[in-house]
Amino acid sequence: MRKKVWQLFIGLAIIFIACNNEETKSDSTQNESSISSPQNISYTVLNAFPHDTSSFTQGLEIYRGKLFESTGLYGKSSLREIDLKSGKPKKVITNDKEIFAEGLTVLKDTIYQLSWENHLVFLYDAKTLSPIGTRAWNYQGWGITNDGNSLLISDGTDKIYFAEPHTLKVKNIMSVKDHIGPVNNLNELEMIDGFLYANRWQYDYILKIDPNSGHVVGMIDFTDFLPKNSKADLSYLSKNNSTAQINGAVLNGIAYDSTKKTILITGKLWPEIFEVKLQ
């Protein structure tokens, strides 16, 4: 009798687990299917400005009328204040040769510049570019922006880390997803009118992300953008064993001009910075 009761108990447990797993699977499928396909966002190219073709652009930012750029690669990384019309740097802070610099953002007159695998964030005075100090960061550094209160940092995965600016303590982690699933390779970031915009490394588009849900709600297609819009000789980008060929002269760099409601975009080693207006 006890044996039969025990067998009945095991059978009911198996049925319960199977039903529970099926329910979880169903909920997961429902969650993914509830994300709509991102809307295509069109744009108009307004202007093209010169850009230093030796700049491996990792971050681009407009702050109080100044244009800042972070450039990468070991031995070539720097923080720059750029004159947009000429493309020439007004000021350059060179990172140590063991630093591979990544994205940057400016919050309350402080510039935050990421490093890739060095687990350091560099702080500068936005008015003078004078170094303020460094902060430790536990993850890889790819892109960074801010929402006025928190720093939003990507690490090359689908994750966005919301961090406290003074301590870099992580307050929240958000997964970015589209209608297919998690979206990785999130690189340069920019907050624009309450939405998070992100370059996706090795893809010719910029994503528009809802920072509350992590859902991708829009996409700006920049396929073949450079050859279609550049007046420069682009042959240097395809030379054998060149920096462009080895490291990739890909789309990267988003800077929002809140006064003109336009966006500056560029790429690593690109000959121009382009001003575009989203439709």
52 part of a folded domain: yes
pLDDT value, residue 276: 98
- Residue 75 counted as domain residue: yes
pLDDT-based confidence at 195, cuts 50/70/90? very high
Q: How many Cβ atoms from other residues are within 10 Å of residue 73's Cβ?
A: 21
Q: How far apart are CA 179 and CA 41, in angstroms?
A: 17
Residue 1: the pLDDT is 43
Tell me what percent of the residues of the chain surpass a pLDDT of 70: 88
Tokens of 115: 């490093």
**pLDDT beyond 70 at 4:** no
Of 9-23, 52-66, 159-173, 192-206, which gets the smallest average pLDDT? Answer: 9-23
Query: Looking at residue 33, what is its pLDDT?
Result: 62
Instruction: Please write the tens of the pLDDT for every residue from 99-110.
Output: 999 999 999 999
Mean pLDDT of the chain: 90
Q: Are 118 and 100 in contact (CB under 8 A)?
A: yes
Cα separation, 129 vs 104, in Å, equals 13
Enclosing domain of residue 117:
42-278
The CA-atom distances, in angstroms, between 213 and each of 26, 36, 77, 195, 216 are 20, 12, 34, 11, 9
| Separation CA 253–CA 69 (nearest Å) | 9
| 259 pLDDT above the threshold of 90 | yes
Q: Report the b/e string of 222-251 with b at 16+ CB within 10 A.
A: beebbeeeeeeeeeebeeeeebbeeebbbb
pLDDT at 174: 98
Is residue 244 one of the residues assigned to a domain? yes
pLDDT band at 150 (very low <50, low <70, confident <90, very high): very high
Task: Tally Cβ neighbours within 10 Å of residue 37.
Answer: 11
Structural domain contains residue 20? no
**Given this model, what pLDDT does residue 199 score?**
98
Whether 9 is covered by a domain: the verdict is no
Confidence class for position 8, pLDDT limits 50, 70, 90: very low
Residue pLDDT, tens place only, 23-38: 333 333 335 568 999 9
How far is Cα 140 from Cα 150, in angstroms, rounded to an integer? 18
- What pLDDT shows up at residue 34? 86
Against a cut of 0.85, is the pTM above it?
Answer: yes
What length is written for the chain? 279
The answer to which of 25-39, 51-65, 75-89, 212-226 has the lowest mean pLDDT is 25-39
Residue 28 in any domain: the answer is no
pLDDT above 80: residue 13: no
* Domain count along the chain: 1
Is 15 within a domain? no
Describe the strand order of the beta sheet including 110-115 as a list of residue ranges: 101-107, 110-115, 120-125, 131-136
pLDDT at 19 over 60: no
Edge-first strand listing for the sheet containing 251-257:
43-50, 272-278, 262-267, 251-257
Count CB neighbours of 67 within 10 A.
20
- Does a structural domain hold residue 33? no
The CATH number of residue 91's host domain is: 2.130.10.10
Identify the residue with better confidence: 210 or 20: 210
